[in-house]
A and B are shown apart, each in its own frame.
Chain A
Amino acid sequence: EVQLVESGGGLVQPGGSLRLSCAASGFTLSTYYMTWVRQAPGKGLEWVANIKQDGTEKTYVDSVKDRFSISRDNAKNSLSLEMNSLRAEDTALYYCVRGVITAGRSAFDIWGQGTMVTVSS
């Protein structure tokens, strides 16, 4: 079964750090563009960051640039999101998502269940 499973979310104080992980199974991670998408409670979807198949290109939404870092380990079939200098507005459910094979940066066919990040004192 093709699956993405996120972990690493939790409660963190403003200014703190957190590392999210995403374990992929049922497919070869190295074939696909991967992305993190977040959804604040009761709000819409927001694209956060993506990473090319070989890890050579990484792109971020302006609001997280210089604070978040996306990475991947194709040998371990895993994706990560390192989050630093966290703010209250980063509070959201974070989804790990797989890009469709023909439009990897722009459409996502497999979604994890999400991991919740809460930034609060």
Chain B
Amino acid sequence: QSALTQPPSASGSPGQSVTISCTGTSSDVGGHNYVSWYQQHPGKAPKLMIYEVSKRPSGVPDRFSGSKSGNTASLTVSGLQAEDEADYYCSSYAGSNKLVFGGGTKLTVL
């Protein structure tokens, strides 16, 4: 299976909103409502931010939201804060018990 497509970088100023896209195919993103998003700070393990397209685990701020349209999923971070600067990865169930990740997006808070 091929990796999902994410922009290599994204940026925004504190307080602004930024949206990161994640494009797949009808076999993964478009075919299942099992898209997740992870935040990874340097040297740290990834942290689950969104699952099942738009659900937030306990403890994740509601500034983080997820959505999906067709074969593209999106993560929106509102009210950007300095600590949001990190790498973000999307993933999607791809059928047959398999999963695929995106290439990652480096979010910079200006």
Interface residues of A (CB under 8 A from B): 35, 37, 44-47, 50, 57, 59, 61-62, 95, 100, 102-103, 105-109, 111-114
Contacts and interface: CB of A to CB of B under 8 A. Distances in A.
Interface residues of B, number: 26
B64 interface: no
B45 A114 contact: yes
Contact of A111 (B1, B45, B93): B45
Interface string B87-110: 001011100111111111000000
B86 interface: no
B59 to A, nearest CB: 10
Chain A binding site: helix, strand, loop or mixed by DSSP? strand
Given A46-B101, A61-B98, A106 B48 contact: no
Contacts of B103: 44
Given A102-B52, A106-B93, A44 B104 contact: yes
Contacts of A44: 3, 89, 101-104
Interface of B: 1, 3, 32, 34, 36, 38, 45-48, 51-52, 57, 89, 91-93, 96-104
Contacts of A57: 97
A87 B76 CA distance: 38
Nearest to A50: B97
Nearest to B32: A106
B99 to A, nearest CB: 4
B99 A50 contact: yes
Nearest to B101: A45
A37 B96 CA distance: 17
Given A44-B103, A44-B104, 17 more contacts: A44-B3, A44-B102, A45-B101, A50-B97, A100-B48, A100-B51, A103-B93, A105-B93, A106-B34, A106-B36, A106-B51, A107-B34, A107-B48, A107-B51, A108-B36, A109-B57, A112-B45
Contacts of B32: 106
